[in-house]
Structure 1
Amino acid sequence: MEDMWKQHWEKGNAKNRHLISDPNQRVPGFDYPRALWTNLNRIRTEQGNCNYLLHKWKLKNSPLCDCGQIQSIKHIVEECPQTRYKGGIEGLHMGDDEAIDWLSKTNVRL
């Protein structure tokens, strides 16, 4: 069964799939508190409460970030001069102390 799931994963096209080499293994941060774990997974999948998606779902009037660009998860983490994390999505995926510190200090709630 595990081999079948791994083959299915390898053929898939999930965002940032390259971050997970074996879908049968727990990813970094699995044992973190729920709120932190949720934020990490929203970043990994690029599906969270960013203005782009909230606007798409008609929950916000604008998709723009405070910096004037479209505010996607990728923008928040890798591009925005106000919020970017130097390690990017791949660095946050690892969930080390520096990444957790950035997550706790950023004023954006995903």
Structure 2
Amino acid sequence: MEMTKQEYAIGEVQDFLPQIGRVVKAGQTELAVFRTSDGTFYAVENQSPHPKGGPLAEGIVSGYYLYDPLYDWKIDLRSGEVQAPDQGRVATYSVQTEDNKVKVRV
């Protein structure tokens, strides 16, 4: 059975402050949504890939990287890959903006 992605409206552009994470629900999935300083939006599952877990929405964004607020792991927002020397991956989701609305595909 093929999983189909569903699009969710999660707010308006001005609802997302640059470099500040925001928690949103898209169906059953809790996401951490970030707007980088250049205005690009990224969404990741709001769950740290660290073995002890934890939220990611309160992490610090620098460029395209998110720093895990509890373990300081560096995560690439574009791919979800944790940067060396740590390892892991967080699920990423496609975000679109249209007519000032922000939508995510889950």
**Structure number, greater radius of gyration:** 1
RCO (CA 8 Å, sep 6+): is it higher in 1 or 2?
2
Could you say which structure has the higher helix fraction?
A: 1
Q: TM-score range by the shorter chain?
A: under 0.3
What TM-score do the two structures reach when normalised by structure 1? 0.26
What TM-score do the two structures reach when normalised by structure 2? 0.27
Could you say which structure has the higher strand fraction?
A: 2
